[in-house]
Structure 1
Amino acid sequence: MNIVEVTAYRIFGNLVDKKVNNNKYIDIKHQLRKAVIPVPVVQYVSLAYFYSLITGLVIGSIGFYASLVVFSDTGALFVFKDLLPNWIEAYALELMACVQGILIFLIGFYTTYFVYLSIPSLKANIRKTSIDQSLIHVTTYLYAMTRGGGLSLFDIFKSLSNHKHIYGTAAEEFGYIVRDMEFFGHDIITALQNAKLRTPSQNFRELIDGLISILSSGGDITAYLKNKTEQYRSVAKTEQQTFLETLGILAESYVSVFVVAPLFLMTILVVLGLLNPTSILIMYLLIYIAVPFGTMVFLILLDTITSDQQKLPETYVTEKSLNVFDDLHVKFSKLDEELIKKIEFQKRITKIKDSLKHPIHLMRGRPSYAFVLSIPVALFYFLNNIIGRYQFDFNIKLVELSTFNIDFATYIDDYIFYSVLIMIVPFIVFHELRAKRISQIEEQIPEFFKKLASINEAGIMLMDAISMTAQSKVGIIHTEIGKMKEDINWGTNLTQALKKFEYRVRTDLTRRIVTTIIKASESTNDVTSVLNIAANDAEVQKQMKNQRSTEMYVYVFIIYMAFFVYLFIVYILTVHFLSSMPSTMGDSVAGMTMVNSINIEEYEMLFFHASMIQGFCSGLVAGQMGNASINSGLKHSIIMIVSSYALFALLI
C-alpha cells in the first residue's frame, strides 16, 4: 500500500470495518469482485472517505473565501442587517461565509463519496459489455477445440487464457478458472462455481451453469458448446439489428442538434446583429466552441457504443538462438567486441536505410507514419507563405474584429486550408489502401479456409493442402498464401508459417482463426472439423459486417445531404441576404432605418469558418458511424471542407 492508502486506513479503517461486519457494504464488495479491482472492501471504502474529506475541505475552503469576497463586495447582507441581533451583526459576514463553506463542504464530500463508491459498479458494467461482445468468439474456440479432441477441458481453458489479447475479456474469465485450479487446488466444478459468482455477465453465468450441469451429469460438452455457439450467433444478429436502429436515432439526433440547430441560430443571430452588436459574440461561441466541443462529446458517445472489438496489440517477431553452450563464458578480445558492436550498429543502420528506401511500403503497413513527412511539409508551406509576407497585428477583439484582422484571417485561411490538405491527405490515402486490403482479405478468408477443409477432408495433410490452394487464384490473399507456401518449402513448420501469415495480414478475424487452427493442429489430427468451424465463424462475421456497412451507408448519406443543405443555406445567406443588409449606420431597408450597422466581411468570414468546421466535424461523425473509426471519417471531412472551400472560392 502507498502512503495515501495507509493514511486512509489508519483514519477510517476501524469505522469502516465495523460497518463491513454489519454487512453495510456487501454490494460494494460484490462489485469490486466483479470489476476485478484487487482491493479489500475496507480499504476501498476508507479511501472513499479519505478522498471525500480532502475534496470537501478544499472546495469548502474555496467556497468560504469566495463567500467573504462576494458578500463584502456586493453588500448582500445589508438587506438582513436590521433583522440580526447586535451581537451577531458584527460577525454576520464571517458567519454567512462559514454557512456557505459548510454547505459546499458537504456537497463536495458526499458527491465524491458516492462517485467513488459507484466506480466499481461502472467498471463491472463495462466489463460485462466486453465479456458479452467476446463471448461468441470464445464459445467458437471452445467448440472447435472440443470437436477436434486431443485436449482436456482444463488444457482448453488454459490455451484460451493464453490468448486474452485475441479473445478479449471472456478469455480473462477463463484465466481465473485456470488460476483457481492450477494454484489454489480447486477441482473444475468448484472453479466454475467461483467464476459464476465472480462474473458480472449474465450470459457468461448461463454458459458456466451449463458447463457445470454437463460435467456433473457426464453429458456431451461438444454438443452443448455447438448449441451455445449457434445461440450466441443468433443473439448477436438480433443485437446488431437493435444496435443499428440506435445508430439511426443517433444520426438523426446529430443532424438535428449539430447541423440544423446551429444553422437556425446563425440565421437568427444575423438578423439580431442589426439590433444588437453583441449578438455576434454568440456566433463566435457557437461556431468555434459549441459545434466542435459538442461534436467531440458526440464522437466519444459513438465510440463507446460502436467499438465492438478490442484494439489489436503490437506484434513482434522474436529471434530464437540455440544457446547450447550458454553456461560456458567466452571472453572476447577487444577487437572482437568492437567488431560485434560494428555489426549491431550496421544492422540498425541497414534497417533505417530499408525504411528510407521503401517509405511507401512502410506507410502502407502503418499509415500514421505518413504524418512524419506530411506535418513538417505542411508547417513549412504555411510558415513560408505567412512569415515576412504579411504584417501581424495581434490586437484581436472578440466582439468586433477590426478590418485589418478580418483581412488577416481571410488571408491565412487559404494557407491553413492547403496545409490541412497536405497534412491529412497522405494519411488518408495510405489508411484507405490498408483498409481496402484488410476488407478484401477478410472477404476471402472464409473461402480460403473452406478450400483447406475440403482438401484436408480428402486425406491430404494441411501443409500439402496449403501448397495446393496456393496454385489456385484466391484473390488478393493469393500473394499471402504463396508466401506461406514458400515458407513451408524452405523448411518452416506449419505453426511458424501460419504465425507469419497472421503477422502479415494482421486482422482480428485472421488472428482468431489462425490461433484456433494452430492449437488444433498441435493437439489432434482431425483438423478438418476445426477448419470448417473456423470458416463458418468467419462467414457469419463477414455477413454481419456487410449488413452493418450496408445499413450504415444510409446514415452516412443522410449526414452528407444535411451538410450540403447546410452549405446551400449558407450560400443563400451570404450572397442574397447579407448583400441586402446595411453596412453603415443610418442605411435603411424597405424604408426602415436600422439601429446598428453590420460588417459584411466579418459575417462572410464567420460563415466560411462555420462551413469548414461543420464539414470537418460531420465527416468524423460519418466515419465513426459508417466504419466505427474516426480515421475513416477523415476522407469524409476532406470531401466536405473541399466542397465548402470551392463554394466560397468560386461562387461567393
Structure 2
Amino acid sequence: MLEFLPLLGALALVGVFLATPYSEGLSSLLSRTSFRLFDGKSIEPSVRRERLLRSAAIGTPYREYTAKTYLYVFGSAMAGGILGVYVGVGLLAVLREVGISTTITVPSLGLFDGIADVPVLSELPGATFGIEVFDGFVFVVLLATSSLVGLLAAGGAYAVRWRIPSLRADTRRRQIDAGMPRMVAFVYALTRGGMAFPDVMRALSRNEGVFGEGAAEVGVAVRNIDLFNVDLVSAIGDLSQRTPSEQFEQFAENLSSVLQSGRNISEFLREQYERYREEAEEQQEEILDLLATTAEVYVTTVVAGMLFLVTILLIIGLTAGDTLFLMRAIAYVVLPAGNLLFLAYLIEVLQPLQTTGSSSRILQAESNVTVEHVGIESDGGYNYPNSETNHQRLRAYDRLRSIRETITAPLQSVIQRPTLVFVVTVPIAVLVTAYRAPSVVVDGAIEVGLLDDLLVQAAIFLMGTFAVVYEIKQRRLRRLEEAVPDLLERLASLNEAGIAVVSSFDRVRRSDIGALDEEVDRIWRDIQWGATVAQALDRFETRVRTPSVTRVVTLITNAMRASNEIGPVLRIAAEQARADKRLRRQRRQEMFTYLVVIYVSFVVFLIVIVALDFVLIPNLPDSGAVEGDLAQNAPSVLGGFTGGDEDAYRLVFFHTALIQSTLSGLVGGMMGGGSVKDGVKHSTIMLTVTYLVLTLLG
C-alpha cells in the first residue's frame, strides 16, 4: 500500500485546488502561498486580462489571480507527473499482460540499473514480461509518461484558469442584455417620478437580486461615488470600460453624454426604454425562428435518424451478422448523448428569454438589517462587547430560516419550492423498491424485465409527484402575473386622480381584479392593522414571490420614498408588465407548436418500436432450430435470430423507447416552457404511455 501514497498525495492536491472556490480559508491560504512563491510585483501587467477580470466580476486583483494561476500550474504539473508514473506502470502492465515478445532495443543509459526490481514493477500482473528490457528502458517509459501527463496537466490548468473569466464574462453579458429592458424601465420610472438620479442608481444597486447583473454593474458606480468621491459622470463613464455587455456599454456612454450636456434625463430614458423593448420583441422573434429550425433538426436527427439506424441495424443483424453491440451503443450512448446535447443547446438559446432576478426582496432587506444592527466596523471588527456573539446567533438564525418555514408551513413551502417534494418521495421510492427487490432474483439470477419494472415505476412516481406540484405552482403564478397589469393601471388611475396610495388600495380591493383579489384584501388588512404601505407590499411580495410582482413591489416602494404622487411610475410599470405579458403569450403560442411536433415525433417513434418489437421480431424464425445446410444458409437471407438473440434485441428496443420517451419529454418541455422543470411533466406522460403500451402488449 505504501506505493500508492504518492498517488493519494497527488489526488489530495487536486482536491485542494478544486475545493478552493468554495472555501475562503483555502483561498486565502493559496493566495498567501502564491505570493511567497511568486513575487506579485514581478508579474507584468496585462491590460486585456485586467479588463477581463473586471468584466467577469471575479473580485480578485490581477496580480493575485496571476500568482495563484502560477501556483495552480506548478501544483498541477507535480500532480500530473506523479500520476504519469502510475500511467507508465499501467502501460508496462498492459504490455506484459498481452504478452508482447518483440525486443525493444534502447541505448544503455548506465543509470538506474535494476529499476525493474522495485516492488511497484516487480509485482505487475502477468507471468511473463514478454519484453527484453534493456538498461534504462523502464526509466525512459516512466519519465516519458510522467513528463507528458505533467505537461498536459500544467497546460490544462493554465488554460482553464484563464478560460474561467471569459466564460463568466460571457454569462454576465447575456444576463445583462436580457435584463436591460426591465432595468431601464425601472430607472425611467423612478426618474419620471421625481427621484434624483444618484438615488435612482442607489435604489437599483440595492436590488441586485431583482434586476440581476445589470444592477451589479450599477452598484460598482455607486460604490465609486459613495466611497471614493468620484463624480457621477466619471463613475458612469467607467462602467462602459468594464462591462462585458455592448448594450450596457452603449447605454452608459450615452447616459454619460446626456448628463454632461444637461439634457432631460427622463426623455432620454424613455427613448432608451422604447428601444430596448422593441429589441426584446425582435430578439424573441429571432429566438422563436431558431427554435423552429431546432425542432426540425431534432426530429430529423435524434428521432427519425435513430429510428432509421435501429431499423437498418436490425436488418443487417438478420442478414449479415450480429449488430447487437451497435444497437446497444445507440440506445445507451448515442441516443442519450444526442438528447443531452440538444438540451444544452436549448438552455443556451433560451437564456435571453428567462426572467432576470427571482429572489425575494424582503429577505435581502432583512439580511441587510441584520448586518447593520450587530455593530460591525468597516475593518471587520466589532464596536460592542457582545456584538460578535449576537452576530453569530443572527447568522445561525438566518441559516435555519428556511428549515423553520418549511416545518411550520409544509404544504405552502412545497408549492413555492417543488423540489422539496423529493424529501418525501425519494425515501418512499427507495423503501418500496428495496422491499420489492428480492422478487427480481429468479433462480439465483437477476431478471432484467422485473428490474426494469421496479426502476421505471419508481421513476414515474418521482417525476409524476414533482410534475403535479410544479404545475400547481406554475398555474398559480401565471394567474397572478396575468392580473398584475390591471392592478397597476387601476392604482395609477386613482393616484393620478388625486387619491392617496393608501386610499387607492381600499378602492381597488372593492373591484374585481381576478386572481389578485385575495392578495389585495390581505394588503389592505395589513394596512388597517398598522403596517405601512411599504411593509404591506413587502409581505405581499413574500407571499407571491414571482419575478413580475417582485419588480413591481420594488418599484412602488422606492417611488414612494421620493413622492406620494406615483401615478406616472405606476403607469410605466403597468406598461412594462403588459409588454411582458404580451411577450409571454406570444412565446407560449409559438412554443406550443414545437411541443406538438415533439409529441407527434414521439408517437411515430413508439409506433415504429412497437411494430419492430411485437410484429417483426416474433414472426421471424429461429435460425438456431434449422438443421443441416439450411442453418449455414440462414444468415444469408432474412432468416431470423440465433439462440437467444431475440430476447436481447427486444430488450434493447424496450430500453430505447424508455430512454427516448424520457428525454424527448425534457426537450419538449424546454421548447414549450423554456425550462427543464417544465419538461418533467411531458417526460412523465411519455414514459407512462411507453411503459403501459410496451408492457400491455408483451
Classify the TM-score, shorter chain. 0.7 to 0.9
Conservation of the 8 A alpha-carbon contact between 1:374 and 1:424: no
- Structure 1 residue 299: deviation in Å? 2.6
Corresponding residue number in structure 2 for 1:484: 523
Amino acid at match of 1:378: A
Corresponding residue number in structure 1 for 2:187: 142
After superposition, the C-alpha distances for 1:111-143 in whole angstroms (9 at most, x for unaligned) are: 332232222222112111111111211111111
Conservation of the 8 A alpha-carbon contact between 2:80 and 2:149: yes
| 1:368 paired to 2:419 | yes
Structure-2 separation of matches of 1:200 and 1:547: 30
| 1:641 paired to 2:687 | yes
Amino acid at match of 2:28: N
Structure-1 separation of matches of 2:47 and 2:651: 60
Structure-2 separation of matches of 1:586 and 1:41: 75
Corresponding residue number in structure 2 for 1:102: 147
Amino acid at match of 1:459: G
Amino acid at match of 1:91: G
Structure-2 separation of matches of 1:130 and 1:349: 30
After superposition, the C-alpha distances for 1:429-468 in whole angstroms (9 at most, x for unaligned) are: 2211221111121112111211111122222122222221
| 1:10 paired to 2:55 | no
Q: TM-score, normalised by structure 1?
A: 0.84
| 1:469 paired to 2:508 | yes
| 1:57 paired to 2:74 | no
Structure-1 separation of matches of 2:609 and 2:641: 24
| 1:422 paired to 2:466 | no
Corresponding residue number in structure 2 for 1:603: 649
- Structure 1 residue 295: deviation in Å? 3.0
Q: Equivalences for 1:258-273 in 2 at 5 Å?
A: 258-273=302-317
Structure-2 separation of matches of 1:352 and 1:303: 30
Conservation of the 8 A alpha-carbon contact between 1:166 and 1:508: yes
Q: TM-score, normalised by structure 2?
A: 0.79
Structure-2 separation of matches of 1:353 and 1:122: 39
Corresponding residue number in structure 2 for 1:120: 165
Q: Secondary structure at the match of 2:38?
A: helix
Structure-2 separation of matches of 1:621 and 1:46: 43
| 1:130 paired to 2:156 | no
Conservation of the 8 A alpha-carbon contact between 2:414 and 2:420: yes
Corresponding residue number in structure 2 for 1:35: 56
Structure-2 separation of matches of 1:5 and 1:368: 37
- Structure 1 residue 569: deviation in Å? 0.8
Conservation of the 8 A alpha-carbon contact between 1:77 and 1:93: no
Conservation of the 8 A alpha-carbon contact between 1:180 and 1:186: yes
Structure-1 separation of matches of 2:326 and 2:141: 36
| 1:298 paired to 2:324 | no
Conservation of the 8 A alpha-carbon contact between 1:563 and 1:615: yes
Conservation of the 8 A alpha-carbon contact between 2:320 and 2:636: no
Q: Provide closer, same or farther for how the CA distance between residues 269 and 311 of structure 1 changes in structure 2, counting only shifts above 3 A.
A: farther
Q: Provide closer, same or farther for how the CA distance between residues 97 and 418 of structure 1 changes in structure 2, counting only shifts above 3 A.
A: closer
| 1:448 paired to 2:487 | yes
More displaced 10-residue stretch of structure 1: 609-618 or 86-95? 86-95
Match of 1:206 among 250, 253, 258: 250
Structure-2 separation of matches of 1:31 and 1:350: 42
Conservation of the 8 A alpha-carbon contact between 1:302 and 1:625: yes
- Structure 1 residue 413: deviation in Å? 3.4
Corresponding residue number in structure 1 for 2:433: 382
Conservation of the 8 A alpha-carbon contact between 1:35 and 1:121: yes
Amino acid at match of 2:418: P
- Structure 1 residue 4: deviation in Å? 2.6
Structure-2 separation of matches of 1:256 and 1:627: 22
Amino acid at match of 1:224: F
After superposition, the C-alpha distances for 1:477-496 in whole angstroms (9 at most, x for unaligned) are: 21212222222233322111
Q: Equivalences for 1:465-544 in 2 at 5 Å?
A: 465-544=504-583
Structure-1 separation of matches of 2:650 and 2:643: 15
More displaced 10-residue stretch of structure 1: 626-635 or 178-187? 626-635
Q: Provide closer, same or farther for how the CA distance between residues 360 and 158 of structure 1 changes in structure 2, counting only shifts above 3 A.
A: closer
Amino acid at match of 1:4: L
Corresponding residue number in structure 2 for 1:558: 597
Q: Provide closer, same or farther for how the CA distance between residues 40 and 375 of structure 1 changes in structure 2, counting only shifts above 3 A.
A: closer
Q: Provide closer, same or farther for how the CA distance between residues 362 and 109 of structure 1 changes in structure 2, counting only shifts above 3 A.
A: closer
- List alignment gaps of at least 5 residues for structure 2: 1-26, 111-133, 371-401
Structure-2 separation of matches of 1:141 and 1:618: 39
Q: Provide closer, same or farther for how the CA distance between residues 66 and 490 of structure 1 changes in structure 2, counting only shifts above 3 A.
A: closer
Structure-1 separation of matches of 2:89 and 2:545: 62
- Structure 1 residue 411: deviation in Å? 2.5
Amino acid at match of 1:113: Y
- List alignment gaps of at least 5 residues for structure 1: 322-347, 395-403
| 1:176 paired to 2:220 | yes
Q: Provide closer, same or farther for how the CA distance between residues 93 and 582 of structure 1 changes in structure 2, counting only shifts above 3 A.
A: farther
Conservation of the 8 A alpha-carbon contact between 2:595 and 2:671: yes
More displaced 10-residue stretch of structure 1: 258-267 or 195-204? 258-267
Q: Provide closer, same or farther for how the CA distance between residues 276 and 44 of structure 1 changes in structure 2, counting only shifts above 3 A.
A: farther
After superposition, the C-alpha distances for 1:10-29 in whole angstroms (9 at most, x for unaligned) are: 33336xx5561xx5x32111
- Structure 1 residue 282: deviation in Å? 3.4
Conservation of the 8 A alpha-carbon contact between 1:586 and 1:595: no
Q: Provide closer, same or farther for how the CA distance between residues 208 and 104 of structure 1 changes in structure 2, counting only shifts above 3 A.
A: same
More displaced 10-residue stretch of structure 1: 129-138 or 49-58? 49-58
Q: Secondary structure at the match of 1:2?
A: helix
Q: Provide closer, same or farther for how the CA distance between residues 258 and 206 of structure 1 changes in structure 2, counting only shifts above 3 A.
A: same
Conservation of the 8 A alpha-carbon contact between 1:582 and 1:598: no
- Structure 1 residue 170: deviation in Å? 0.6
Conservation of the 8 A alpha-carbon contact between 1:574 and 1:604: yes
Structure-1 separation of matches of 2:344 and 2:190: 38
Amino acid at match of 2:514: G
After superposition, the C-alpha distances for 1:211-246 in whole angstroms (9 at most, x for unaligned) are: 211211211001011111111111111111222223
Amino acid at match of 1:265: L
Amino acid at match of 2:37: I
Corresponding residue number in structure 2 for 1:632: 678
After superposition, the C-alpha distances for 1:383-436 in whole angstroms (9 at most, x for unaligned) are: 44444x454577xxxxxxxxx64xx22234334443333333232222112211
Paired-residue identity, %: 29
- Structure 1 residue 360: deviation in Å? 4.7
CA RMSD of aligned residues (A): 3.2
More displaced 10-residue stretch of structure 1: 359-368 or 451-460? 359-368
